[in-house]
Amino acid sequence: MSIFAALSVAEMFGISGMGMLIVFSALVFLMFLIYALSAIIAWAESRGNGPAAVTAGATAGASLVPANGSAGEVALGNVDEATAAMLMAIVADDMKLPLNRLRFISIRQVD
């Protein structure tokens, strides 16, 4: 004989209602946890501790944090490496982006 055979219909609805209440309360808890974490992250970024502060600092004239990585090889056409590096740095500064976010395919001198 099953354990549920001894329960009435009202008791079964009560047990299933209690299960749904537990599940939905856990979902509401997770929702508030996500809201709290997003508020903490937004607060940290507004204080200058996050990625949004780096972008905002670039527009305000502050220096950017150097980024790691490379975007590939550059073909130099009749341009020495020092001049090419200077041109890449000028373009990155004008665009307010770290140098590794830009991809230079070739640099050549135009007469």
pLDDT of residue 67: 54
**What confidence tens digit (pLDDT) does each residue in 69-83 have?**
666 678 888 888 898
Determine contact, residues 100/69, Cβ cutoff 8 Å.
Answer: yes
Q: Is the pTM of this model over 0.75?
A: no
Cα angle: 95, vertex 101, 106; to 5 degrees: 85
For helices 51-59 and 9-46, give the axis angle rounded to 10 degrees. Answer: 30
